[in-house]
Structure 1
């Protein structure tokens, strides 16, 4: 993806966004395919360099990974449409000349995939995911679903490259960005609060 210098995220900032979401698209190009295999999936970021997840055995992505273990995990979110008039200052600029845009955050992780096929390995992945998603520990241990384990395969992804983009008006001056922050607060539609937080965090940081 195109990342302008003013939209570029630090690695820590990008990984924080990943931890806060942990749902995205796993993309495997394979070899000689007309289009890649793209799978929406929940996943778990452990530490800073490992992603764990599991998928059903019939999933078409397995063949693509066997052809080529290089994959991408792609996330995007916290988006909000910014009308053109918002990008002009009242009384100082013609609102008809404002250029509309969409604010959003996006992270793409280039990874190397390792398929986990043994029962214990898959169980450990499930335990790790449940520890994050079901912290109360009220569910039985995944090992008790032993008969179902053959129906899934696990994946361990080693992150090799982190590309983060936070497109929140970083190319505009402070006065224009704070004006947009005020408009986002007033509208308070889906995505507006998150976009405003990113805008102000990057402005004040």
Structure 2
């Protein structure tokens, strides 16, 4: 993922907070077996300290590729919107000469994948995931010797993803004047289509922190 200086995360807390705000669904990208393209698996995930936890169905064909090469990427994208050209036109050019772009937030985790097959370890993984996704506890106990999960554990495999690198990108025209960014955020709020509102909110948060963008001296 190419990241311009003005699109970079302002600090680790920015992308960590963004993930914790509910961006817990991504695409697991696995190197393909020799002669095969990469495999991409949409999946929920949860944090486990600095690392990530995933479980997938045992029949999923991706396991052979992970066993062949455990180096994987988990890619998360959100708060995205298409920005029409006229919204980005400067005052000295016709509106239709403005160049459109996409706004989005993206975090890519480069990981080393460890497959989890031990039943007790899989049960522990599921308990951690259910604590995140069903915090009210409205589910049966996850125990290896009790229904319903006990008989289902054999049908899944777990993944402990040791995160070795994080690349974060927040692409919201932060190199443009503050007035321009504020105007686009207002237009997104007014259009209110799809993810326009969270996109506008993300742009405004960046604007509030950055103000006029200044390149870092080399």
- TM-score relative to the length of structure 2: 0.88
Q: Which one of the candidate residues 196, 199, 205 is aligned to 1:201?
A: 205
Secondary structure in 2 matching 1:142:
coil
Post-superposition shift, 1:78?
Answer: 1.0
Post-superposition shift, 1:142?
Answer: 1.6
Post-superposition shift, 1:30?
Answer: 4.4
Q: Do 1:71 and 1:113's aligned partners in 2 also have CA atoms closer than 8 Å?
A: yes
Q: Which one of the candidate residues 184, 192, 203 is aligned to 2:188?
A: 184
Query: Which residue pairs with 1:165 in the alignment?
Result: 169
Q: How far apart, CA to CA, are the structure 2 residues paired with 1:55 and 1:34?
A: 20
Query: Which residue pairs with 1:76 in the alignment?
Result: 77
Determine whether 1:146 maps to 2:158.
Answer: no
1:102-141 residue pairs with structure 2 within 5 A?
102-141=102-141
Q: How far apart, CA to CA, are the structure 1 residues paired with 2:170 and 2:111?
A: 21
Post-superposition shift, 1:16?
Answer: 2.4
| CA deviation map 1:133-159 (0-9, x unaligned) | 111112111212211111111110011
Determine whether 1:63 maps to 2:68.
Answer: no
| CA deviation map 1:149-202 (0-9, x unaligned) | 111111100111000111111121111111111111211111111111111111
Q: Do 1:14 and 1:162's aligned partners in 2 also have CA atoms closer than 8 Å?
A: no
| CA deviation map 1:7-45 (0-9, x unaligned) | 011333223222321101111104524311111001101
Secondary structure in 2 matching 1:148:
helix
Query: Which residue pairs with 1:40 in the alignment?
Result: 42
Gaps of 5+ in 1: none
Q: Which has the higher contact order (CA 8 A, sep 6+)?
A: 1
Q: How far apart, CA to CA, are the structure 2 residues paired with 1:42 and 1:55?
A: 10
Q: Once superposed, which parts of structure 1, at least 4 consecutive aligned residues long, lie more than 3 Å away? A: none
Gaps of 5+ in 2: 210-218
Query: How many equivalent pairs are there?
Result: 203
Q: Do 1:11 and 1:162's aligned partners in 2 also have CA atoms closer than 8 Å?
A: no
Q: How far apart, CA to CA, are the structure 2 residues paired with 1:197 and 1:117?
A: 42
| CA deviation map 1:30-85 (0-9, x unaligned) | 452431111100110123x2101111111111111111111000111111111111
Secondary structure in 2 matching 1:125:
helix
Change (3 A) 1:173 1:87: same
